[in-house]
Amino acid sequence: MSTAAPSTGRNTPRAVRRWAPPWPYGPDDLRRNLRVLQRGPHDPAHRVVGGAIWRATRTPCGPATLRIAAEPAAGEITAEAWGPGAPWALDRLPALLGADDDPSAFVPRHRLVAEAHRRHPGLRLARTGLVLESLIPSILEQKVTTDEAYRAWRTLLRRYGEPAPGPADRLPERMHVMPEPRTWALIPSWEWHRAGVDNKRSSTILRAVARARRMEEAAHMDLTAAVTRLTAIPGIGPWTAAETLQRTNGAADAVTVGDLHLPGIVVYALTGARGGDDARMMELLAPYAGQRHRATRLILATGRTPPRRAPRFPRGDIARW
């Protein structure tokens, strides 16, 4: 249920929804389940403040700011929202928090995974229903370090996004809503360069936003059809599609292949062997068919990673070229 309250801050009315999940859902579960939506500690569109999650998002109805907090004593999640997209965001709150996810379909096949499954009973796969919101930062993360990608996302949102709606006295500092497709399309080439984004990635983003409606339709498709829809855009491959659909569709089987680190982590965690590749990772994940992304999330939650031996992925600063 949503209720309107008097306008505050930027003349934006507040709406509130209280939702009682049918399973225990505490503050740690909230942070863990939505952490995948945050692009770095200074993401202008996602902040964690005092245990509450703040999200600035562009919905089909317009910009919205969402503040989500878990109240274990009451067995409820409380969400406040501001902006034209507030009703849309509140209506989809349960899906965002994993209500459409079905962890009962998951059966651990390794002792390590079984222990992680036992330790994290509140793990649910988020479903935003917003494709460009996850697709664009995933494209920015292609073939560069996460720090470089986070910097580019932060720079572009602050320069071309719009201030998040809501009360200025409550909003975390410098929160911004992602630009709309037309704004992305009008960013000059030199501004992409200044943000550290090479021509290949910026061109891929421009192709995606030119087909924004077709991209957003993937949020309502099954995994195979959604991957086909996204990868029809030159520059979007299986890695980018999986990283996107894990977030937009809550796709439990969307495995990230082609990643620099994930195969080594999965292989080491499950076998103790170093130097794992995609083929070996997929072989080990075969017993989890239909739930392979959930299996990797649980493996990552164990923190079991191979000792670092090789130097870090080299960092390049395209803005200085």
pLDDT for the residue 4 = 36
Model confidence at 13, pLDDT cuts 50, 70, 90, reads confident
Listed in sequence order, the DSSP H helices in the chain are 27-34, 86-91, 93-96, 111-119, 131-140, 146-160, 181-185, 189-194, 199-210, 212-216, 223-231, 238-248, 262-271, 278-285, 292-301
> What tens digit of pLDDT does each residue of 227-255 get?
999 999 999 999 999 999 999 999 999 99
> What tens digit of pLDDT does each residue of 157-181 get?
999 999 999 999 999 999 999 999 9
Are 46 and 53 in contact, with CB atoms under 8 Å apart?
A: yes
What's the chain's average pLDDT? Answer: 93
pLDDT for the residue 8 = 35
Can you give the pTM of this predicted structure?
A: 0.91
pLDDT for the residue 1 = 40
Query: What percent of the chain is predicted at pLDDT more than 70?
Result: 93
Residue 2 has pLDDT above 90, yes or no: no
Interatomic CA distance for residues 222 and 21, integer angstroms: 25
Q: Could you tell me which of 270, 293, 237 has the C-alpha nearest to residue 36?
A: 293
> What tens digit of pLDDT does each residue of 19-72 get?
999 998 999 999 999 999 999 999 999 999 999 999 999 999 999 999 999 999
Q: What's the average model confidence in pLDDT over 181-197?
A: 98
